[in-house]
Amino acid sequence: MSADGFHGVFPYLVSPVDAAGRVKSAVLARLCDDLIAAGVHGLSPLGSTGEFAYLNWAQKKRIVEVVVDAAAGRVPVVPGVAASTTADAVRQAKEFAALGCAGILAILEAYFPLDDEAIHDYFAAIAGATDLPVVLYTNSTFQRADLSLPVIERLSRLPTVRYLKDASPNTGRLLSILERTEGRIEVFAASAHIPAAVMLIGGRGWMAGPACLAPRQSVALYDFCRRGEWTAAMDLQRRLWRLNQAFAKYNLAACIKGGLALQGYAVGDPLPPQKALSASGREDVRQLLTQLTEFPSSIHQRPSQGENP
């Protein structure tokens, strides 16, 4: 992690698991190594792309172990901590800290409705469980209990709560968060956002599954934005956005796992009862990946990992 914290492109990693429930460690380690070689700034296992809701604790722990070992300190590893009970979330955060993770992505899984006070207390407990920086995760599409602006403002005053990844399609909400938290929290875009727009309003980068399939292009887009080269950024952004549209059309994990399979990674299918990517879906993704690899070769140069934003 750079001296001024998390920034840039954090691919949400898939979770390769075989039919017997074993984590495909070699495949995951190879993916991590290749993503780092492509210039990504961090790795985030157990996000939505990582199918956290479909994994047991042993699988989650093994996935994080593999990613931490593969990263070998070259980039920060920020895994998702997701639970429906506060005690379980706190336990996960402590275990991941002990494994050598650089931060925590805090996710709330709720069955019964929760009020703002209960939601605040859940995230505050995670923030107090370790000294690691916490990234709040909010996703109004999938989560029964979402983070409201007043709760985000309160949480931003906790010393370890330093970032937020908002997966709503409302970029204006990100600007509201930045204004309301007055510099205490920095925001990352998700695949539902147009990353260049988020960078323009002050975002630190993006955490999203598409970067697994197009890491060099994602890093190039970040670099264009950071340098203020907005014409070049938008040219590349338009191409990348087509990939985002495919994810909106198909199951997220199926889409990214299917795309990775096309690139030679034996990551397997999504965990049941999810379905694998259809033949038409694979063809759509194949065409999109082909178009991205035809982008000018200058973006394929590996950027410096040591650069600060």
82 within 8 A of 89, measured Cβ to Cβ: yes
Please check whether residue 2 lies inside any domain of the structure.
no
Enter the tokens of residue 148. Answer: 């409201």
Residue 20 is part of which domain span? 8-300
Read off the amino acid at residue 229. Answer: E
Please check whether residue 305 lies inside any domain of the structure.
no
**More confidently predicted of 288 and 28:** 28
86 backbone dihedrals φ, ψ, rounded to 5°:
-65, -40
User: What pLDDT sits at residue 306?
Assistant: 39
Count of the separate structural domains present in the chain: 1
**More confidently predicted of 293 and 258:** 258
Please check whether residue 93 lies inside any domain of the structure.
yes
User: What pLDDT sits at residue 295?
Assistant: 54
Please check whether residue 287 lies inside any domain of the structure.
yes
96 within 8 A of 104, measured Cβ to Cβ: yes
Please check whether residue 98 lies inside any domain of the structure.
yes
**6: confidence class by pLDDT, cuts 50, 70, 90:** very high
Q: Print burial letters for 7-41: b (CB count within 10 Å at least 16), e (below 16).
A: bbbbbbbbbbbeeeeebbbebbbbbbebbbebbbb
Please check whether residue 270 lies inside any domain of the structure.
yes
Q: Among 101-110, 239-248, 288-297, where is mean pLDDT lowest?
A: 288-297
Give CA–CA dist 251/247, Å, rounded.
Answer: 7
Please check whether residue 1 lies inside any domain of the structure.
no
Model confidence pLDDT, tens digit, residues 145-196: 789 999 999 999 999 999 999 888 888 899 999 999 999 999 999 887 899 9
Model confidence pLDDT, tens digit, residues 61-89: 999 999 999 999 999 999 999 999 999 99
User: What pLDDT sits at residue 283?
Assistant: 93
**CATH code for the domain in which residue 61 is found:** 3.20.20.70
**200: confidence class by pLDDT, cuts 50, 70, 90:** very high
> SS3 letters for the chain?
CECCECCEEEEECCCCECCCCCECHHHHHHHHHHHHHCCCCCEECCCCCCCHHHCCHHHHHHHHHHHHHHHCCCCCECCEEEECCHHHHHHHHHHHHHCCCCCEEEEECCCCCCCHHHHHHHHHHHHHHCCCCEEEEECCCCCCCCCCHHHHHHHCCCCCEEEEEECCCCHHHHHHHHHHHCCCCEEEECCCCCHHHHHHCCCCEEEECHHHHCHHHHHHHHHHHHCCCHHHHHHHHHHHHHHHHHHHHCCHHHHHHHHHHHCCCCCCCCCCCCCCCCHHHHHHHHHHHHHHHCCCHHHHCCCCCCCCC
Please check whether residue 307 lies inside any domain of the structure.
no
**229: confidence class by pLDDT, cuts 50, 70, 90:** very high
